[in-house]
Amino acid sequence: MKLIFNILQFGAVRVFLCIMLIMACCPLMAQQVGGIVTDYVSGEPLIGVKVIWRGTSIGTTTNKDGHFTLKESQNATDIVVSYTGYRSDTLYNVNGTNIKVRLVQTSMALQSVSVHARRKAVYSDFSSLTNKEVTTVEGLRGLACCNLGESFENSATIDVGYSDAVSGSKQIQLLGLTGVYSQMLLENIPFLRGLTTPYGLGYVPGQWMESISVSKGVATVKNGCEAITGIINLEYEKPDKGDRFSINLYENSDLKSEITTKFNHRFNDHLSTGLYLFGTYSGRRFDHIGHDGFADYPLQQQLNVLNRWDYEVGHDFHSQTLVNYIHESRLGGDMRFERSMRGNDSIYGFGGTSNRLYFMTKNGFMISNTASFGSQVSGSWFRHDAWYGLSEYKGEEKDVYVNLMVNAEVSGGHIVDYGASFRYSDMGEELMYKPYLTAAVLVFDPEISFVEVVPGVFGQYTFRYGDDFNATFGMRYDYNSHHERHLVSPRLHARWHMGDQYVLRLSAGRGFRTSNVIAENIGLLASGRDIVFADTKLDMEEAWNGGINLNKHFTISEGHSLTVSIDYFHTSFVNQVVVDLDANAGQAIIGNLVGRSWSNVVQADVNIEPFDGFSVSLAGKINSVFCDYHGVRMRKPYTPFWKGLAVFTYHTRFDKWRFDFTTQLNGPQRLPLNKGTLQGEASPYIYMLGQITRRFKQFEVYVGVENITDYVQETPVIGADNPFSQAFDASVVYAPLMGRLFYVGLRLNVM
């Protein structure tokens, strides 16, 4: 009932919806068709394959990575693909440069063979300009991932940690820096930013996602100037391709229940809609770890509803619109704490309520075979109301974003993109901070609230030399009204296929962002530290990022391959909003960077498929992240010095059984000065998880264990016996806060 009431409250949001009906358009020129030819069985690119326009002698052959391009023909619309030892294939009415042809060997085509049609769970995208790691639906099936925060357990690239020991909220790190320096996109439109940062990862149900792709390094200019360390792009299920109905039920040994349902309906060939629902309920608190009277995980309820519409007319017009509403409430802290005890000064409690409405529409229009129009529009409203002990935090964010893009292939090998964007963000935050009983209430409002209008233009030029080399140079200009600054962000990307399956990639560029310092460091509120603003105005954060990546693909035998990837990324801050926890154990000093702040990250990945159905991926990473705090150069706290990861997946034929096992080795972390007994470095630890999935005709059942070794933080809450004193600190989290956890679930699909 309360939910329905909340939904009706959005007066301001209705205004947004009207504004969002703006659409804009851009022509796309394509005078070439092209694509890639691969072996059906192994997926290996085929070299020297003949590709000709049907009924003519005009044609070409594929190059050494299986790619071909053909000038558009006046007389023919179909192409014939032929190759010695393979069955020829004819493609009708071809257009675009992304045609994928898979040829079947004749020696095999006439007999029954086993075909490796399975998609890999996690793979590196070879053809992508940036170093991209993609987790597919297959990969997500092997994790009981309830939400995005739990979907990175088999990724070495991303580290996930808790922000504090009472709220249960998680935060990610990419390239050794917190997730805010990367951009979280939903279907290529900025999705989670600003005030949604603290709990945002919990707003993306794992079962809604079709894939997650993580691109390391500075992004191209198309999505704004904020993506410094990379991009995480989420793809939700598409209503025209998804199953008619599916449901997922999950229950764990801490009595957390989750339900995900998805309905997809196709009205006809053009119009389809999807209604996705997600609910989570965690109705009991446990105090397994620490035995300090504090709940390990808060009571939590979430309702998440998404409705999307897809309208498509062949390749001519494509429109996607979605609306998402989220309501969440949490209650944690002392086991005895109840919601009605808010503000109580003898029993420590944490509570929070969030509401979010998000709207997005993407439209692409083609007026002929060679020209198209497109736009991205999104809007969101978010309200968060929380308390941490005696401190009260309220945040309200209103955001409108419009991005218009033009893509044009000027002539063969020269592609130009340009466009304009506009963002309006109203970040209203209010913090009444009383970290301990004897402290005076400090009210932060003007320091942390602002309205930001950011118009921008961008242009990007891509040069392609065959398929072996492509380079993109982009520039964008934005004006930020809050900081009254003109922002120029150059971005460079290059990819070079150096023969024999070596791929080298380079990226470099500058990025800017406005910090929401309280939202991004919300865990601080769960401590007895005084918050001190050293500067009256926090400047924009500005950083340069550069990286290099080398990839090598080995073919072991038919269908089995080995991939090795090594990369190095450097980020250097011109300005950063620094939270100094080391000047004094009882203070958090927030200010602009004085001195230097940088991050160096080296990562190596090996993926191998030694035999059918079995795959192993191994990864190692070294994070070297330093910052100057009050003139002293120190490692960034809570960033593991190194990390190792091993993921094993085995599935039987036809996927009837599936076994997933992951081991993480998390290196030591530097702890900031604190009031606890553990100072300096937290020791390394092992984290293991595993899952078994059994598939039946229309459903599958899974069981799993998280944190198999049961390694947990000994003292999750410092000063738990005296939570209203300066000795209290629940923000020092360096190890898992959940012990060994069993879960069971059921997925059912109706196609």
Partner 1 sequence: MKKVTLFLIAVFFLGTAFAQNKKNDTKTVEISIPGYCCNGLTPTIEKTLAYERGVVEWTTNLEKKSVTVVYREGKTNPAKIEKALAANGVRTANEKPNPRAIEKLPACCQPAAKGESGCDKE
Q: How many helices (H) and strands (E) does the chain have?
A: 5, 45
Q: Nearest distance from residue 286's CB to partner 1, in Å?
A: 13
First to last CA, the chain: 33
Q: How far is it, in rounded angstroms, from Cα 362 to Cα 235? A: 13
Question: Which amino acid is residue 124, in one-letter code?
Answer: S
Report, in this order, helix, strand and coil percent for the chain, each rounded to 5.
10, 55, 35
Smallest distance, partner 1 to C-beta of residue 65, A: 19
Residue closer to partner 1, measured from CB, 53 or 359 = 53
Nearer to partner 1, 655 or 681 (CB): 655
The nearer residue to partner 1, 110 or 632, going by C-beta atoms, is 110
Residue 118, Cβ neighbours under 10 Å: how many?
Answer: 12
- The full DSSP string for 560-580 is EEEEEEEEEEEEEEEE-EEEE
Is-contact 225 489, C-beta < 8 A? yes
The least distance separating partner 1 from the CB of residue 298, rounded to whole angstroms, comes to 22
245 or 469, CB closer to partner 1? 245
Instruction: Please give the Cα distance from 732 to 715 (Å, whole number).
Output: 9
Taking the complex as a whole, the smallest distance from the CB of residue 498 to partner 1 amounts, in Å, to 29
Using the minimum distance from each CB to partner 1, give the nearer residue, 19 or 109.
Answer: 109
**Identity of the residue, 115 or 488, whose beta carbon is nearer to partner 1 in the bound complex:** 115
Taking the least distance from each CB to partner 1, the nearer of 5 and 696 is 696
For partner 1, the closer of residues 532 and 744 by Cβ is: 744
The minimum distance between CB 109 and partner 1, in angstroms, equals 5
Spatial distance between the Cα atoms of 394 and 429, rounded to a whole number of angstroms: 6
Contact yes or no for 68/61 (Cβ under 8 A): yes
Q: Quick one: 247 or 701, whose CB is closer to partner 1?
A: 701
Largest interatomic CA distance in the chain: 88
**Of 141, 135, 122, residue with least CA distance to 692:** 141
Minimum gap (Å) between residue 696 Cβ and partner 1: 6
Among positive and negative, which fits the CA dihedral 362, 7, 277, 233? positive
Cβ distance 366 to 339 under 8 Å?
no
Q: Which residues bind partner 1 (CB under 8 A)?
A: 40, 81, 87, 89-96, 99-102, 104, 108-113, 115, 117, 240-241, 243-244, 253, 264, 266, 315, 653-656, 694-697, 701, 703, 742, 744, 751
Rounded least distance, CB 264 to partner 1, Å = 8
Report in angstroms how near the CB of residue 733 gets to partner 1 at its nearest. Answer: 26
Smallest distance from partner 1 to CB 738, Å: 15
The pair of structure tokens assigned to 395 is 């945040």
Beta strands 158-162 and 391-411, pairing class: unpaired
Alpha-carbon 641 to chain mean position = 22
Q: How far is the CB of 652 from partner 1 (least distance, A)?
A: 10
User: Counting Cβ atoms within 10 Å, is residue 225 exposed (0-12), middle (13-18) or buried (19+)?
Assistant: buried
Q: Which position has the token pair 């109706």?
A: 750
Please identify, using beta-carbon distances, which residue of 6 and 707 lies nearer to partner 1.
707
Please state the φ and ψ torsions of residue 73, each to the nearest 5 degrees. Answer: -100, 145
Q: Which residue's CB is nearer to partner 1, number 728 or number 743?
A: 743
- 3-class DSSP assignment, residue 12: helix
| Residue 162 token pair | 């808790």
